[in-house]
Amino acid sequence: MVKTNKTIKKETKEKKEPGPDKKLKKYFEGIGRRKTSTARVRLLQDEKTIIINEKPLEKYFPTIETQQTVLSVFQKMDMVGKFGVSVRVKGGGINSQSEAIRHGIANALIDFDPESRKTLKNTGFLTRDSRMRERKKFGLKRARRAPQWAKR
């Protein structure tokens, strides 16, 4: 019998079994958005560190206010230090990114514990703040700022 490409592919697929040394991590995922920022958040039960774009929280957000914004969800739910957080965030500014991360953490906590939805909803952490900057219009200097007009 001649082996075709299909039979060779099937044999190679069968051989790729995960070994006992590979550890599968359990995580809960959530997406948070604010203005033009988007944050993809993963809550890890094994680790206890907060990593944002491959940097620790204190390095990525140097101000205490933005750090408190990120951690406010855990403080409200009394879960400080119970989860590790891995975040990929892009777009927007520092405050916008911190609020997007907060929104993503709240969404991921709902996957972990659906009963916490009511508490998070009442505090406003699940509300997506969609306010964005208005685009610049042609003939104007900014979105609504018109050129100065002089009668003479």
Cα–Cα distance measured from residue 66 to residue 97, given in angstroms and rounded to the nearest whole number: 9
Residue ranges of E strands in the chain: 27-34, 37-44, 50-52, 55-56, 84-90
Could you tell me the pTM of the whole model?
Answer: 0.77
> According to CATH, what is the number of the domain 25-123?
3.30.230.10
Tokens for 51, please give them.
């990593």
The pLDDT of residue 118 is: 92
Pick from 88, 14, 28, 95: which is nearest to 62 by CA? Answer: 95
The pLDDT of residue 10 is: 52
pLDDT tens sequence across 71-89:
999 999 888 888 899 999 9
pLDDT tens sequence across 100-128:
999 999 999 998 888 989 999 999 999 99
Q: Which residues on neighbouring strands pair with residue 84, listed in sequence order?
A: 44
Sequential DSSP letters for 12-31: HHHH----TTPPPPPEEEEE
Q: In the chain, what are the domain boundaries?
A: 25-123
